[in-house]
Amino acid sequence: MEAAAYLKHARISPRKVQIVLDLIRGKDTDTAMAILKNTNRGATECLVKLLKSAVANAENNFHMDGSKLFVSECFVTPGPTMKRMMPRAKGSADRILKRTSHVTIVVKERD
């Protein structure tokens, strides 16, 4: 049995999220929460909320024991990219890519 939580269209680059997700993959949820709260990265704020949501889904929807949960799977995929323009010299323009992310966290019970 597993429970998942999804975050769509997060306004942060997938590369930045992937660095933080690599830290918590395979850890117990309590340990993962402690790692996220003590990591100084921009992606941690939304990942804390997402991990809490996954744990709440597991406890309320599937009646799992919260103390036995661990992060079995977590990954990020790129979402739609917003294209913006920045004026440059001599009337030209540079393209700015504002990237978004789709994040998934799956928790399971340890045997």
Output the pTM of the full model: 0.92
* Rounded average pLDDT over 90-101: 97
* pLDDT value, residue 21: 97
Is residue 90 pLDDT above 90, yes or no?
yes
Question: Which helix or strand (DSSP H or E) is residue 62 part of?
Answer: helix 44-62
| Burial (CB count <10 Å: 0-12, 13-18, 19+), residue 9 | exposed
Per the CB < 8 A criterion, the answer to whether 43 and 15 are in contact is: no
Neighbours of 49 (CB within 10 A): 13
Share the mean pLDDT of the chain: 96
Residues in the chain: 111
pLDDT tens column, 3-56? 999 999 999 999 999 999 999 999 999 999 999 999 999 999 999 999 999 999
Is residue 111 pLDDT above 90, yes or no?
no
Specify the CATH class of 2-109 in words: alpha beta
Q: Which residues pair with 71 in a beta bridge?
A: 107
